[in-house]
Amino acid sequence: MSRLAKFTVTLVGIVLVLLAVFELGQSYPIPWLTSWLADLTINYPMVWSILLMVFAIIAGIVGILLVIVGLFRPVKVSTLTYDGKVGQLTIPQRALERDLQYRLVNQLNLIDPEVHLKLRRRRRVRVKIDAMVNTDASLETTAQQAATLAQDYLKNQLGLTVEQPVVQVKPANHQRKLTVV
C-alpha cells in the first residue's frame, strides 16, 4: 500500500470514528462525552455545524470513490481454469509464470528472467518480463523475440487474450537498459 493510500485510509478512519463517537454521544448518555458534546454544540453552534459538515462531506466523497473503484477496477484472477470432458483443470498464476520463465531461458538464453502475469476476467492477461542477455548487440531483437514468444505461448497455446507485453532487457554488464512496449 502506498503512503498516500495509507494516509487516506487513516484519515478517513479517524473521521468515521469521530462521527461514530459523536452520534453515540448524542444518542446514548455517556457521562463525560454527552455533557462535553452538549457544551460544544451550545457554546459553538456555527463551528460545530461546519465541522460536522466537513466530516460528512469527506466521508461522502470517500464513499463515492470507493463505489467507483468497486465498480470499475478490473478483477484480478489468481488461477486459470479449463473445463473439459473429464473434469476441470485449474492452473495457478505462479505456474504459468514459471513455465513462461522456463521457455524464455530455454529458447532465448535469457539470464534470470522475471515474469509477472496479471490474470483478469474473460481470459485476459497482462505480461511484464525483466531479463538480462549476454551480449548487448541484439537487445532490441531479443526483446522483440521475448515479446513474441510470450504472446504465442499465452495466446496460441493457452487461448488467452494478451495485452501488449512489456519486456525490459538489460545487458549482463548493466550499462544500458532497453524497454519495448
Q: State percent of the chain over pLDDT 90.
A: 10
State the Cα–Cα distance between residues 92 and 81, nearest whole angstrom: 9
- Would you say residue 175 has pLDDT above 60? no
Convert the pLDDT of each residue in 101-116 to its tens digit.
Answer: 999 989 888 888 899 9
State the Cα–Cα distance between residues 152 and 154, nearest whole angstrom: 6
Q: Which of 104, 179, 112, 115 is nearest to 149 (CA)?
A: 104
Of the pLDDT bands very low, low, confident and very high (cuts 50, 70, 90), residue 180 is low
Whether the model pTM is above 0.85: no
Mean pLDDT of 117-140: 83
- The mean of the pLDDT values for the chain is 81
Convert the pLDDT of each residue in 65-86 to its tens digit.
Answer: 877 877 777 767 788 888 888 8
Please tell me the number of Cα atoms within 13 Å of 141 on its side-chain side. Answer: 6
- Residue 135's pLDDT is 67
* Least confidently predicted of 6-10, 165-169, 173-177: 173-177
- Would you say residue 20 has pLDDT above 80? no
State the Cα–Cα distance between residues 96 and 177, nearest whole angstrom: 26
SS3 of residue 91 by DSSP: strand
* Cell, residue 58: 469527506
- Residue 37's pLDDT is 75
